[in-house]
Structure 1
Amino acid sequence: MILKKIYSDLLANIGFSANEIQQNWLDLEKAYSKKSRHYHNLTHLEEMIESFETYRNKLQNPNEILFSIFYHDFVYSASKKDNELKSAEYALSILPKNINLNKQLVFDAICATQQHQHNSIEDINWLIDFDLKILAKDWDDYKIYFEQIRKEYRIYPDFLYKPGRAKALKHFLENKFIFQTDEFRSLYEEKAKQNIEKEISILM
């Protein structure tokens, strides 16, 4: 599996032992493969890493951003509000003390995937855009995405879910921009807005 190889190479590169890499991969795979995860799963990671590989040369700290991608949804529960914080804390907890990685950047990057707001650190803006690229997919793929999100929130009845989802989507439209980098804005901003507006109309 290409994902496992990218993960293993990264951890070897920053100073993990072979045994640590194997155990951490199993833990990661288990977390992202839970039955409750219809969207926030290994496929989501693969799509983000595809974007990462495309724009790697734009990043000042590619190892930190790649590590953040792998762990940004490690903890994920539809009923909780602190998934990103818990994921960031977990990501730091597995890092050996003398690791060759900027821990503060990893922590801040993962936490930034909660609000998706513009960040003073450009690497974090790239991570946010990798996470949100799904919003600009062709409509058929976008529809699959929001149906997967609905399944993750199936504990909530429509009368609670629909206004909550619409509010979250409107939040994107109320911001000056959906995407944080010039590249993603020029490529994906209009398509993402169209998809979001169309989904909101379905929810109403």
Structure 2
Amino acid sequence: MDDRLRQRFDGLWARTTGAAGAEAAWRALDAGYGEAARHYHGWRHIADLLQGHDAVRALPDFAELDHDAIDLAIVYHDAVYDTARADNEARSADLLRAQAGPQADSDPIRAAEAMIRATAAHGPSADPATRLMLDLDLAVLGAARPVYEAYAAAIRCEYAAVPDAAWRIGRAAVLDRFLARPRLYQTDPFRERLETSARANLVAELHALRADRPSVE
């Protein structure tokens, strides 16, 4: 893990909560993101989202948003990740609130908490910051095909305990729900850049899942 990620977190924590508790907060995050079973939802995923955020934060569509709150949401949104549970997003948001201590009800913490909870459904949002955060989280869907295939393979590894037949059915249902949406990306910059490639990637994986061969070559 790049030391710059830790330095960025320390600065973010100091700006949003005060310096107190930064070490304990980091240790809790590292205990999750550093798990060997995190084939996709690890520190690399967080670093990629932060990098993606940096690439667009100055665009006119996003320039006025609370970018510290978005960064907090990025850092904490997968802090708790157990493939056997359905409440990971709520538990991740609760972890942020617990570690923020007296600042738990401050504007950036409450905003980040709401964004984290929104990742449970990735549904339409009326909040511009949430729309951006959700689009950042789904940006991998529109990545170049080799990157997307590596992502899909990593997700399968995280669900290695699920038998292949059940995996195909469950994963296909997830992809079907995404493809049924009128739009995958809620912000115009992401939609213009990634919507077409994301749909192509989802369709390709879906066809592979329903074929008599492995879902990712």
TM-score range for the pair, normalised by the shorter chain length: over 0.9
**2:67 alignment partner in structure 1:** 62
Cα deviation, residue 27, structure 1: 1.7
Cα deviation, residue 141, structure 1: 1.1
For the residues of structure 2 that align with 1:132 and 1:166, how far apart are their CA atoms?
17
In structure 2, the CA distance between the partners of 1:23 and 1:104, relative to structure 1 (3 Å rule), is closer
1:74 equivalent in alignment to 2:89: no
1:50 equivalent in alignment to 2:43: no
Mean Cα deviation higher: 8-17 or 67-76: 8-17
1:151 equivalent in alignment to 2:157: yes
Cα deviation, residue 56, structure 1: 2.2
Higher relative helix content: 1
TM-score normalised by structure 2 residue count: 0.89
TM-superposition CA deviations, 1:118-146 (whole Å, max 9, x none): 10001000000010001011111111100
TM-superposition CA deviations, 1:55-111 (whole Å, max 9, x none): 223152111111010000001011111110111111111113146543332221001
Which ranges of structure 1 fall in alignment gaps of 5 or more residues?
A: none
For the residues of structure 2 that align with 1:98 and 1:46, how far apart are their CA atoms?
25
Query: What is the RMSD computed on CA atoms of the aligned residues?
Result: 1.3
**1:88 alignment partner in structure 2:** 93
1:192 equivalent in alignment to 2:198: yes
Number of residue pairs the alignment of both structures matches: 203
For the residues of structure 2 that align with 1:96 and 1:183, how far apart are their CA atoms?
36
State the one-letter code of the partner of 1:6: R
TM-score normalised by structure 1 residue count: 0.95
**1:132 alignment partner in structure 2:** 138
**Is contact 2:16-2:109 (8 Å) kept?**
no
Which ranges of structure 2 fall in alignment gaps of 5 or more residues?
A: 211-217
**1:23 alignment partner in structure 2:** 24
In structure 2, the CA distance between the partners of 1:103 and 1:14, relative to structure 1 (3 Å rule), is closer
**Is contact 1:136-1:189 (8 Å) kept?**
yes
Given candidates 12, 15, 38, the residue that maps to 1:13 is 15
- Helix, strand or coil at the partner of 1:114: coil
**Is contact 1:118-1:180 (8 Å) kept?**
yes
**Is contact 2:39-2:158 (8 Å) kept?**
yes
